[in-house]
Structure 1
Amino acid sequence: MTEIFKRMTNLLFLLCLAACSGKSDVVTLLREAEMYMDERPDSALCLLDSVKSMGELTGQEHALWCLLYTQAQDKNRIEHTSDSLIQIAVKYYDGTDLEDRKMQAYYYCGRVFQDLSDAPQAQGCYLKAYEVGKNLNNNSLLGRLCANLGTLYTYQELYQPALDFQKEAADYFLLDEDTVSLSIAFRNIARIYICENLSDSAKTYYSKALSYTSDVHAFYIFNELADAYGRIGEYEKGLSYARKANTLTQTVDDSCLVSFTLGDIFLKTGQLDSADHYLSFCLRSPNIYTLAGTYYLLGQLEKRQNNLEQYVLFQEKYEPLKDSIEQQSRMETLIRNQCLYDYRAVEKEKEYYRQEAYRTTIRLYRIYLGAILFVIAVFIFFVYRSKKQRQKEEQLNQSLRLKDQDYRQSQAFLKEKEDSIARLMEKLELEQKKREGIIYELGKQIEQERQEKEKIVVRLNEVQELAQKKNAESEEQLRNQLEVQIQMKEEIEERLKNQLELEQSKKEAVEKRLKLTIDLTCESKNKQALLSNTDITKEEALFYDSDDYIGLYSDWIKLAKDEWQILQDRIDCILYIDFTHRLKSLYPNISILELQICCLTKLRIPVKRIAVLLSTNSQTISVYRKRLYTKFTGKKGSAKDLDLFLFDF
């Protein structure tokens, strides 16, 4: 009851899915069907039948539906009557890189052709699937594929390739741990050895099949193993396996098969009564092959007992059955040969059309090649002509471009200098604002001193009044105190006067520095005008590729005096006009070491390399850079601020 309830629940679930399939995602439904395929193929087929709107499916979804539907039919043992569905899947997956799907499509295409009794087509599809999937990790499908190929080769009596594929199928089933399929593969190998009259090998593989088989298939293995022992003369073992098979019979046909094997063994061992008993039971069999064999063995039994009339009677019954079997075999052979002929004819026709298409393609390629060569020749002629014209135009415009380039460089240089002047003016305004603030603070201090002076005068008058009342000693003491206060007042006035003079001198120094900067800028403009025909950018590129720069950047151990002089001349005269001259003019207190640090920073030499060239360490260079920024701008800043200041200077 529990199993019935479970199946009813699954059926209701599938019906719900089928009812919602018009609104649900088709990809999800196909994925669900593929999940049910191995364990519940009937449920998978029900899900796939629920897809009605085929016109709304994409090419990939339609191909997958056709593949899964064919697979579900094969799993449910529904005989295929047409290859139209699977051909859609084959045609789609044949043009993709989905190797697993391609292998499945070819395999089930072979299964369809096998049901249609088209062995050559089925074999071709199986071989294509084998070539695609032999490097894939799909042991179950590869095992079934090799088993089917072995069966087809067995039908064609090509026993060696049949053995090879059946053994390979057994290896795949062993890896997949599929004991049922493994026992069937061993049984098929044993049957092939029987066809080749190699009973010993057949016996070995029947024993292997028996070790893996289940109770459902054990009957057939026992019966065939008994027949194999009977063929090689080991009748006792044959009888023991036949009796084991007799205990597993379920139908009349099964009993007839075992009885035929027992009758054959008893006849070979001379136990005629037992043979007659079992062979007489075989007359109930509906199988034409079993009946024919039974009549033949009964005839042989009567012949050995000298009952010639009964022998003739059984022979007369045996001959029509034998003729029917031979006629059926001939018909199967004719059908197989006709299929093979049709297959070869189709392949020959395909090859003819393939060759014709190849010849047509070659002719078209020749025509296209001639046309392309003609077009290339015309194109080369026009390109050559236009190239000549462009060369003339280039020669005419080259001088204008050079002049325009020089003009743009001069404008860029002037703009850079104007920006520098603007920054200096901003600094001057800041300094002037600071000076005004200082003057204002000094005025406030002077006013406070004046007020204190008045207070002191008032107090002095009071002291004079008191002095008249006191004795001479007290008067002298007060006079001394007054002189000390007057002296302190005079010192304060002197200090304020010095501060005013210092601020005035700073203002004059800033104005002088600004005037000097403007003069230096004008001088730089004049020098730039004189050097307008020199490509500064090109000079910088040449310098960065020169041995001097390479020596600075990596090779030199120390910056010698003569090397420093060459470097300074090159910076001032070519790279950055009057760079060191402007620094010395604006900041007269700058030392040689500080000037060298500024130049090397302007050339973008790393800090560690500067320390090596100047025989010091990186920390000292960093301290110098911070002090230089404070000296140049009057503000505190980092080493990177100095780099930005020098790059813009």
Structure 2
Amino acid sequence: MMKIFSCISILFLIVTLSSCGEDKTVSAQLQAAERLMEQAPDSSLSILQQIPFPEKQSAGQYALWCLLFTQAQDKNYIPHTTDSLIRIAVSYYEKTKDKEQLMKAWYYNAAVYHELGDSPRAQDCYLKALEAGKESGDHAILGRIYSNLGLLYIYQHIFDSAIEFQKKAIEHFSILNDTVNIGLSLRNIGRIYAKQNQPDSAIHYYSQAIRFLSEENTSSIYNELGGIYKRSKEYSKALEYIQSALSSLTKDNDTFSIYQNLGDFYRKTGQKDSAFYYSSLALQSRNLHTKANSHLCLSYLEKDQGNYSTSLMYRERYQQVTDSIRYLEQSENLQRIQSLYNYRQIEKEKIHYQQKADKRIIHIYQLAFISICCFVLFILFFLYYLKSKRKENERKEKRIRIEEVRRNGKEEESLQKDDLLKVFMTSPLYQKFTSEEVKISDTDWNNFKSEIDTILPKFNSQLKILRPTIKEEEIKLCYLIKVDISVKQIAHLLYKSSQGISLMRRRLYEKISGKEGSANDFDKLIHEL
């Protein structure tokens, strides 16, 4: 019996010592990963990945592993796909007195939400990180928190708060003499003032930023300064800064945005060949704003040279790109609205479930088992009803939004066509058709109809649907009415009297509509097509 007891004791001692040894090994690995995090984040990540079954370690070790692993992913630019790990760290450090680790946990929780596109929750986590770290001396993280909060407020167009947070970030970066982040925060403030159309303030902060940043980070600032001076018509300074942007280019910079800015500068200063050259180069940009502005600049240049069809082509491409930009912005706005809605729903659910838990505890002492079951069934039914109702409301709202987008799209399309018609009415071809002294050839007629078909591609087919047997002379009449040629001039072009044209309009209206009407009724019908 004694031998058996001795064997059991020895076995227990071996297991205990083995467990202690393993615990010390994991602690050493975590400490090594933490030490290497700033200088060698890839090595830190490798160490963390070598720890087997981290979830089986102690609660403190697992929480630290979750925090360090999320931090290592962030520093190695590995995309975050879930908040599950960092939430474990936050939950653990909320229960401890370690405010430094809690601040880091909230900061990286915010970084995860920021990357996942959930701005409301990211903002909430950054603010909680500030609260946890209000007495912290970790100026690097505090500076990044203030800077990122400032960026979130910029996206929301809350510019006063954004400037305040960027200035707070500069205070912390200044303590560390972190010139790069000081310069970037100054640049952010400059951009805010540029967005608010305050050029003097924007120039001041951009100039301050250049003092702190290396050449590889200044190209975009020089380009933006060039844009500000260009809009202010200070062309010599504008050219100086745009050329500085070109000379400080690195492989990571957006060359095409500088080309676009330079092309527009040359257009405004009357140097058309250079404007054509740089604007054409900028069309290769993947940035939609750069591409759109380049198309617009080329449209203006072609129009100035009397190339109206080419100008119209660039204008149409500009409109296509701006439509894409508008669509993407609407999608981003909807995503932000949805994120805010989800965040509020989560907060409501937290309150709801907390209240439900409190009620359940009270009812455990007050009601019998059957009463509790009935209550739970009622709650479940009520939640199901609310969920169904909410889904139905969401479907209705979605249908309303879709209808509104379609309606706005039709209105924009109509306005665009009106603008193009106005441009056409200033063309030499249109002027030729309004002149009584010029003879119109068949080629002129073909060009005239071709130009209108380009602007109104459905007009000809709609005429033939309304009147399949429509004659060529009647088609010409419809085209002339569509672009507001006077009755007197139409009579001249079609070799008829004004009374004959009026009779022709009235009869054609009766053939199309199947009812009697006036010549004005026919004009109205044509303008509505």
Q: TM-score, normalization: structure 1?
A: 0.51
RMSD: 2.2
Partner residue of 1:73?
73
Partner residue of 2:290?
290
Asked if the contact 2:139–2:172 (Cα under 8 Å) also holds between the matched residues in 1, the reply is yes
Are residue 311 (structure 1) and residue 282 (structure 2) matched? Answer: no
Amino acid at match of 1:202: A
Amino acid at match of 1:138: D
User: Take 1:362 and 1:124, find their aligned partners in 2: how far apart are those partners?
Assistant: 32
Asked if the contact 2:226–2:239 (Cα under 8 Å) also holds between the matched residues in 1, the reply is yes
User: Take 2:131 and 2:231, find their aligned partners in 1: how far apart are those partners?
Assistant: 39
Partner residue of 1:215?
215
Asked if the contact 1:70–1:108 (Cα under 8 Å) also holds between the matched residues in 2, the reply is yes
Task: Using the TM superposition, give the Cα deviation of residue 249 of structure 1 relative to its aligned residue in structure 2, in angstroms.
Answer: 2.5
User: Take 2:291 and 2:186, find their aligned partners in 1: how far apart are those partners?
Assistant: 28
Partner residue of 2:115?
115
- Bigger mean CA offset, 357-366 vs 98-107: 357-366
Secondary structure at the aligned position of 2:249 is classed as coil
Give the alignment of 1:555-570 within 5 angstroms. Answer: none
Asked if the contact 1:146–1:168 (Cα under 8 Å) also holds between the matched residues in 2, the reply is yes
Are residue 192 (structure 1) and residue 195 (structure 2) matched? Answer: no
Secondary structure at the aligned position of 1:25 is classed as helix
Asked if the contact 2:159–2:192 (Cα under 8 Å) also holds between the matched residues in 1, the reply is yes
Secondary structure at the aligned position of 1:144 is classed as helix
Asked if the contact 1:186–1:209 (Cα under 8 Å) also holds between the matched residues in 2, the reply is yes
Partner residue of 1:150?
150
Secondary structure at the aligned position of 1:270 is classed as coil
Asked if the contact 2:107–2:126 (Cα under 8 Å) also holds between the matched residues in 1, the reply is yes
Give the alignment of 1:173-322 within 5 angstroms. Answer: 173-251=173-251, 254-322=254-322
Q: 1:55 to 1:334 in 2, by over 3 A?
A: closer
Partner residue of 2:27?
27
User: Take 1:245 and 1:55, find their aligned partners in 2: how far apart are those partners?
Assistant: 51
Give the alignment of 1:214-613 within 5 angstroms. Answer: 214-251=214-251, 254-358=254-358
Task: Using the TM superposition, give the Cα deviation of residue 260 of structure 1 relative to its aligned residue in structure 2, in angstroms.
Answer: 1.0
Asked if the contact 1:252–1:285 (Cα under 8 Å) also holds between the matched residues in 2, the reply is no
Q: 1:252 to 1:343 in 2, by over 3 A?
A: closer
Task: Using the TM superposition, give the Cα deviation of residue 254 of structure 1 relative to its aligned residue in structure 2, in angstroms.
Answer: 2.9
User: Take 1:358 and 1:268, find their aligned partners in 2: how far apart are those partners?
Assistant: 70
Partner residue of 1:96?
96
User: Take 2:283 and 2:253, find their aligned partners in 1: how far apart are those partners?
Assistant: 10
Partner residue of 2:485?
none
Cα shift readout 1:6-42 (whole Å, capped 9, x = no counterpart)? xxxxxxxxxxxxxxx9796211211111111111111
Task: Using the TM superposition, give the Cα deviation of residue 159 of structure 1 relative to its aligned residue in structure 2, in angstroms.
Answer: 1.4
Cα shift readout 1:571-617 (whole Å, capped 9, x = no counterpart)? xxxxxxxxxxxxxxxxxxxxxxxxxxxxxxxxxxxxxxxxxxxxxxx
Partner residue of 1:373?
none
Task: Using the TM superposition, give the Cα deviation of residue 201 of structure 1 relative to its aligned residue in structure 2, in angstroms.
Answer: 0.9
User: Take 2:81 and 2:205, find their aligned partners in 1: how far apart are those partners?
Assistant: 35
Asked if the contact 1:203–1:229 (Cα under 8 Å) also holds between the matched residues in 2, the reply is no
Give the alignment of 1:46-57 within 5 angstroms. Answer: 46-57=46-57
User: Take 1:215 and 1:73, find their aligned partners in 2: how far apart are those partners?
Assistant: 29
Asked if the contact 1:22–1:51 (Cα under 8 Å) also holds between the matched residues in 2, the reply is no
Secondary structure at the aligned position of 1:80 is classed as coil
Task: Using the TM superposition, give the Cα deviation of residue 358 of structure 1 relative to its aligned residue in structure 2, in angstroms.
Answer: 4.9
User: Take 1:341 and 1:260, find their aligned partners in 2: how far apart are those partners?
Assistant: 39
User: Take 1:177 and 1:252, find their aligned partners in 2: how far apart are those partners?
Assistant: 25
Q: 1:150 to 1:349 in 2, by over 3 A?
A: same
Amino acid at match of 1:232: S
Task: Using the TM superposition, give the Cα deviation of residue 177 of structure 1 relative to its aligned residue in structure 2, in angstroms.
Answer: 0.9
User: Take 1:233 and 1:349, find their aligned partners in 2: how far apart are those partners?
Assistant: 55
User: Take 1:22 and 1:253, find their aligned partners in 2: how far apart are those partners?
Assistant: 49
Secondary structure at the aligned position of 1:284 is classed as coil
User: Take 2:169 and 2:266, find their aligned partners in 1: how far apart are those partners?
Assistant: 36
Cα shift readout 1:341-378 (whole Å, capped 9, x = no counterpart)? 111111122222334445566788999xxxxxxxxxxx
Q: 1:269 to 1:102 in 2, by over 3 A?
A: same
Amino acid at match of 2:75: K
Amino acid at match of 2:117: S
User: Take 2:55 and 2:255, find their aligned partners in 1: how far apart are those partners?
Assistant: 54
Cα shift readout 1:395-451 (whole Å, capped 9, x = no counterpart)? xxxxxxxxxxxxxxxxxxxxxxxxxxxxxxxxxxxxxxxxxxxxxxxxxxxxxxxxx
Asked if the contact 2:220–2:253 (Cα under 8 Å) also holds between the matched residues in 1, the reply is no
Cα shift readout 1:27-63 (whole Å, capped 9, x = no counterpart)? 1211111111111111111111111132541111110
User: Take 1:365 and 1:97, find their aligned partners in 2: how far apart are those partners?
Assistant: 35
Secondary structure at the aligned position of 2:97 is classed as coil
Secondary structure at the aligned position of 2:218 is classed as helix
User: Take 2:252 and 2:295, find their aligned partners in 1: how far apart are those partners?
Assistant: 18
Amino acid at match of 1:245: A
Cα shift readout 1:190-248 (whole Å, capped 9, x = no counterpart)? 11111111121111111111000012212122212222222333221121111111112
Secondary structure at the aligned position of 1:78 is classed as coil
Asked if the contact 1:67–1:89 (Cα under 8 Å) also holds between the matched residues in 2, the reply is yes
Q: 1:362 to 1:239 in 2, by over 3 A?
A: farther
Amino acid at match of 1:124: D
Asked if the contact 2:282–2:294 (Cα under 8 Å) also holds between the matched residues in 1, the reply is yes
Amino acid at match of 2:332: E
Amino acid at match of 1:135: E
Task: Using the TM superposition, give the Cα deviation of residue 148 of structure 1 relative to its aligned residue in structure 2, in angstroms.
Answer: 0.8
Cα shift readout 1:64-105 (whole Å, capped 9, x = no counterpart)? 010001001101111101111101101000111100000000
Asked if the contact 1:256–1:282 (Cα under 8 Å) also holds between the matched residues in 2, the reply is yes
Partner residue of 2:140?
140
Amino acid at match of 1:111: A
Secondary structure at the aligned position of 2:117 is classed as coil
Asked if the contact 1:187–1:206 (Cα under 8 Å) also holds between the matched residues in 2, the reply is yes
Q: 1:87 to 1:309 in 2, by over 3 A?
A: same
- Bigger mean CA offset, 297-306 vs 155-164: 297-306
Amino acid at match of 2:167: K
Structure 1 unaligned residues grouped into runs of 5+: 1-20, 368-649
Q: 1:219 to 1:253 in 2, by over 3 A?
A: closer
User: Take 1:160 and 1:237, find their aligned partners in 2: how far apart are those partners?
Assistant: 29
Asked if the contact 1:66–1:85 (Cα under 8 Å) also holds between the matched residues in 2, the reply is yes
Structure 2 unaligned residues grouped into runs of 5+: 1-20, 368-529
Partner residue of 1:43?
43
Amino acid at match of 2:351: E
Asked if the contact 2:216–2:250 (Cα under 8 Å) also holds between the matched residues in 1, the reply is no
User: Take 2:52 and 2:328, find their aligned partners in 1: how far apart are those partners?
Assistant: 43
Larger Rg: 1
- Bigger mean CA offset, 251-260 vs 261-270: 251-260
Partner residue of 1:131?
131
Partner residue of 2:171?
171
User: Take 1:193 and 1:275, find their aligned partners in 2: how far apart are those partners?
Assistant: 28
User: Take 2:22 and 2:285, find their aligned partners in 1: how far apart are those partners?
Assistant: 52
Amino acid at match of 1:71: Q
